[in-house]
Amino acid sequence: MTPSSLQELGASLLSEVRVPAAALLWMALAPDRTWTLVLAEASGFPRNDSQSVQETLDRMCQSDFARFKEPFYTVEPGYLPLILQPYLKSPDQFAVLRETLIAAGRALLEHAEMLSPAAARWARLAAAAANFEAAAVLDRIVEESGSDTAAILTWIETARPLAALLARGLDNSLDLAIRRAAQRTEMLQRAKADREHLHSFLEREEQLAAVGRLLPDEKNWALHLIGTGGVGKTMLVRYVASDYAARNNLITARIDFDYLNADYPRLAPGLLLWSFIQELQVYDSTGAARSSFKSAGDLIDKLHQRLASEQIGRAHV
């Protein structure tokens, strides 16, 4: 079905259901198993003056836009494109969608005690979109979660649909925050594995003394370990990243060349720096260095695009 035919079908069905467009959006945007009649009435669910909230919800069910399974009203997944598509055509229409999203989030937050954990998480992020602060809220929550990877992952799961929607309005900040959160969980899981491995770490004084001389000097921004397999390179890196750095209040980024893309360095020489960016930006909880990270990432992307184009050009010669 083309976007135009989808739009025509959506307009036809929306005229038949005879409920406010905002009511369909509130139903469509919130997570499943959010709306009960009691919650809808308490939060000011959109309705026509001639309808009660229950009549509005029932009319949506009668028109097959929603279904009722005690005690929840939930949008039918197949109708989501019909409901959302009209708002994705222009910036002005998307602004209406965004304002409705914010209104629903705020209304739900006022009755947080009635919400499921998933709905409460969604409402907090949706309400924060008012000042383009959803990404900052997620960053703060991830920071407050500490080493609780399970908690971080639940927030990532909640944020993904919101991030995809906001990106349609050219706001990808929440998506970037999700990436930072995912990177943090990977680092936490790696740190846990490192601690387990370090039970068998054999300290070598000459190695630790060399690290102690090199790391405090700010000019030595990278420590590159080279050696044959089995001499203890990975174990030393684990020690530096999880033990030494913590005791000396250092921020570290760790790159394993075995896991770099095969295009490095010939086709993607910036991949090493890009990997450092991905690790270091996790520590930028205030966003102070975000623009610098983005600028560096954009330059690396442009470099790789140019090299890829040159490679294609040589292949055609």
What are the sequence ranges of the domains in the chain?
A: 1-115, 201-250, 253-317
Per-residue model confidence (pLDDT) at position 312: 61
CA distance from start to end of the chain:
42
Task: Out of 55-64, 114-123, 137-146, 217-226, give the one with best mean pLDDT.
Answer: 114-123
Average pLDDT over residues 266-287: 80
Chain segment 25-66, per-residue pLDDT in tens: 999 999 999 999 999 999 999 998 888 999 999 998 988 889
Q: What is the DSSP string of 61-111?
A: HHTTSEEEETTEEEE-GGGHHHHHGGGGSSHHHHHHHHHHHHHHHHHHHTT
pTM for the structure as a whole: 0.70
Q: Produce one character per residue of 213-234: b if its CB has 16 or more CB atoms within 10 Å, e if not.
A: eebeeeeeeeeeeeeeeeeeeb
Chain segment 68-117, per-residue pLDDT in tens: 999 999 998 888 888 888 898 888 999 999 999 999 999 999 999 999 99
Measured distance CA(272)–CA(308) in Å, rounded: 17
